[in-house]
Chains A and B, each alone.
Chain A
Amino acid sequence: GAVVSQHPSWVICKSGTSVKIECRSLDFQATTMFWYRQFPKQSLMLMATSNEGSKATYEQGVEKDKFLINHASLTLSTLTVTSAHPEDSSFYICSARDSSLDTGELFFGEGSRLTVL
């Protein structure tokens, strides 16, 4: 099946620094990618929808200036957590939809666990 690669898997950073997470579709093109956040013992929460070549669409309550999303190509979307704080510590997951399929199936990355000290 289709593969989505997410990097890094783990990241620890100091409060106030910025962290970039990459999401790549390895063997398919994805015009749309999704970014989720999951806090412990909670369900996945959609943060934003990333569209290739245009601005991301953010869900209510998600600060677009804090969580910068760039979808510069059909195979790569990046999420940058700017000026990270301990409350941003979470599991961040991306998913992508294969543009050539009409099933609507989403393929997920492995996830990135961010710990802000």
Chain B
Amino acid sequence: GQNIDQPTEMTATEGAIVQINCTYQTSGFNGLFWYQQHAGEAPTFLSYNVLDGLEEKGRFSSFLSRSKGYSYLLLKELQMKDSASYLCAVMDSNYQLIWGAGTKLIIKP
């Protein structure tokens, strides 16, 4: 079966760095997405990785290792507004998005 695993909840301090991991097992691979979702709102796109390596976008970076079925989202200089759920999703060989359950990130002052 297809499976996406990510931690349920993480806590970090304002100004610090946090890494949210995602491991996946899917039938085929056409890219991995990270989305941010604030409570009651639709997800917003953060990053897309289809090749191995690190993609940096401001305070957010995303890493992919296809051979290990592993990705992480790195958030630097955390701000209170970064408190949200972070969703990892993989596009399989049929271009269907397989979603993880999301990681709730709590930022403390």
Binding site for B on A (CB under 8 A): 1, 6, 34, 42-46, 49, 91, 93, 103-111, 113
Contacts and interface: CB of A to CB of B under 8 A. Distances in A.
B48 A105 contact: yes
B35 to A, nearest CB: 8
Most chain B CB neighbours (cut-off 10 Å) among A46, A104, A113: A104
A6 B42 CA distance: 10
Interface in B29-59: 30-31, 33, 35, 40-45, 48, 50
Contacts of A110: 41-42
Contact of B42 (A49, A104, A105, A109): A109
Interface residues of B, number: 21
B97 A106 contact: yes
A46 B97 contact: yes
B74 interface: no
Contact of A108 (B44, B48, B91, B99): B44
B45 A108 contact: yes
A104 B99 contact: no
B30 A108 contact: no
Contact of B33 (A1, A106, A113): A106
Contacts of B45: 1, 105-108
B41 A104 contact: no
Nearest to A34: B97
B43 A104 contact: no
Nearest to B35: A108
